[in-house]
A and B are shown apart, each in its own frame.
Chain A
């Protein structure tokens, strides 16, 4: 049974069981997000997709749509909070875009552009996070990890390998590799794994492949993030 809810004054149809972000995406409305991926079970951790449902804040990737709910998404208040969350992600890791081969294809960077993030605002942590270059085909640069857990979910649910996990709590949470040595080379991870393709930032990088696409022709050089979602309904 298809019914509707209101999103920023627009009537959005949904099917039973769909979350707010699923229905919005289907209707061509972009809700900023980092840990959400349409192919995986929601994690609800990055909080960027937070919307107001009937005046109360909730993650739109975990909240099921229901008939008649009134949802706010693209408001100055919510975007300011999303911008602050993004700034915190930037200062907690080491995000040096000019020397990162993911630059221009990075969802964190593109989302920051979308939110008009002109500065990191907070004091930087400059954490010490050594890279793991042990694997012949893949480099792990933990400096850029935003703990979205997409590689964890992909390796566990699709590849059935359980190569990655999030360890520790609170500010000490970090990505680990499931091997006695802690090194990616000592797992059965391969470059063809789903987990090798889902990293939204520049942590899981394919070796001998960097800077292949010139500046100006990368994904988010051509169109800002969200444009693909909004293009869904164009010409319909």
Chain B
């Protein structure tokens, strides 16, 4: 008799206020992706172009912080549908580069970018209903939903991502030692 087929874990990923560098670093696990795909299948992700999470995702991987209302909606969808959420990279963990705007009033930034800066003769601040509203400040994702694991780095190395994922798949508490633990 054939052995029962082991169910693959569903993994969803997204990039919020990030630069996709963490996703690129994820792809840097190179041919280990084939090993990984023996154990997981991708659900909602820029890699599959699936638009919404299945309700039974096992792992959600979030790159980037929260800079607008849509980011918050996406994050909440991931939390509602994934058993484990992982914050991937500096921006998800502390806001990162987008959070460097946090000490400036949002109106000042919008005025300068779209209105008063040289080259834009009396430009208007975009106000289409399709555009998500920016938040007053950029926030790390753990300030809005419960995050189970964190992989620091800008970006985390492929090896660090591989270490955490394989630890989780093996049922171990993920740990990054010297060389894999980086905030930069």
Contact = CB atoms under 8 A, between A and B. Distances in A.
A99 B96 CA distance: 9
A98 B142 contact: no
B87 interface: yes
Interface string B152-184: 101000000000000000000001101101011
Contacts of B87: 119
Contact of B90 (A97, A112, A124, A128): A97
B94 A98 contact: no
Contacts of B137: 126
B183 A124 contact: no
Given A97-B154, A97-B184, A126-B99, A120 B175 contact: no
A98 B90 contact: yes
Contact of A215 (B97, B99, B151, B184): B184
28 contacts: A96-B90, A96-B96, A96-B97, A96-B100, A97-B90, A98-B96, A99-B97, A99-B100, A100-B184, A103-B184, A112-B183, A113-B178, A116-B175, A118-B149, A118-B150, A118-B176, A119-B147, A119-B150, A119-B152, A120-B94, A124-B95, A124-B139, A124-B140, A124-B143, A126-B99, A126-B102, A126-B137, A129-B103
A104 B184 contact: yes
A94 B97 CA distance: 11
B93 interface: yes
Interface of B: 87, 90, 93-97, 99-100, 102-103, 137, 139-140, 142-143, 147, 149-152, 154, 175-176, 178-179, 181, 183-184
A68 interface: no
B115 to A, nearest CB: 23
Given A99-B97, A119-B150, A224-B178, A128 B143 contact: no
What range describes how many residues of A lie at the interface? 20 to 34
Contacts of A127: 103
B184 A126 contact: no
Nearest to A218: B184
Contacts of A100: 184
Contacts of A116: 175, 181
Given A97-B183, A112-B183, A119 B142 contact: yes
Nearest to A119: B150
Given A103-B184, A113-B178, A121-B142, A95 B154 contact: no
Given A97-B183, A98-B184, A116-B175, A123 B143 contact: yes
Residue of B139, B181, B183 with most chain A CB atoms under a 10 A cut-off: B183
A116 B90 CA distance: 15
A98 B183 contact: yes
B151 to A, nearest CB: 8
A50 interface: no
Nearest to B91: A98
A120 B178 CA distance: 18
Contacts of B184: 97-98, 100, 103-104, 215
A124 B98 CA distance: 14
A124 B94 contact: yes
A120 B140 CA distance: 10
In order of increasing CB-CB distance, the 7 nearest A-B pairs are A97-B183, A98-B154, A128-B103, A119-B150, A126-B102, A118-B150, A103-B184
Contacts of B154: 97-98
Given A95-B94, A96-B90, A120-B93, 13 more contacts: A90-B94, A96-B96, A97-B154, A98-B90, A98-B154, A99-B97, A100-B184, A103-B184, A119-B87, A119-B147, A119-B152, A126-B102, A215-B184
A155 interface: no
Residue of A99, A113, A118, A127 with most chain B CB atoms under a 10 A cut-off: A118
Nearest to A103: B184
